Amino acid sequence: MSTIQIVLEDELLAKADARAARDGGDREGFIRTAISEHLRRLETRELEEQERLGYQRIPDTLDDWEGWEKIAAWPED
């Protein structure tokens, strides 16, 4: 692990400390978790954007869905 130094606004630090205390943790753990979760969300957004661009480049056609109605249909009793 590495030690870093960052500057935060007093209000933001107070909110982070209060939330960490409410969750039974400490500032360090709260900030580590916040950074990890933010990076995960950014990665998800990037993957969603790649998928969106892929569908723009090569859109689905009706032929792509042929046969799915049989698989997705409710079974007859």
**23-76 residue pLDDT tens:** 999 999 999 999 999 999 999 999 999 999 999 999 988 888 888 877 777 877
| The pLDDT value given to residue 60 | 87
Q: What is the pLDDT of residue 21?
A: 97
* Spatial distance between the Cα atoms of 59 and 65, rounded to a whole number of angstroms: 12
Domain that holds residue 46: 10-59
Whether 75 is in a domain gets the answer no
How many other C-beta atoms lie within 10 A of the C-beta of residue 63?
7
- pTM equals 0.71
Helix 27-57 vs helix 10-22: crossing angle, to nearest 10: 100
Average pLDDT over residues 3-16: 96
Quote the number of domains for the chain: 1
Rounded Cα–Cα distance for residues 7 and 62 (Å): 54
Q: Would 15 be classed as within a structural domain?
A: yes
Is residue 4 scored above 90 in pLDDT?
Answer: yes
The answer to whether the CB of 20 falls within 8 A of the CB of 29 is yes
Phi, psi of 23 (to 5 degrees): -85, 0
> What one-letter code names the amino acid at 77?
D
Supply the pLDDT for residue 26.
96
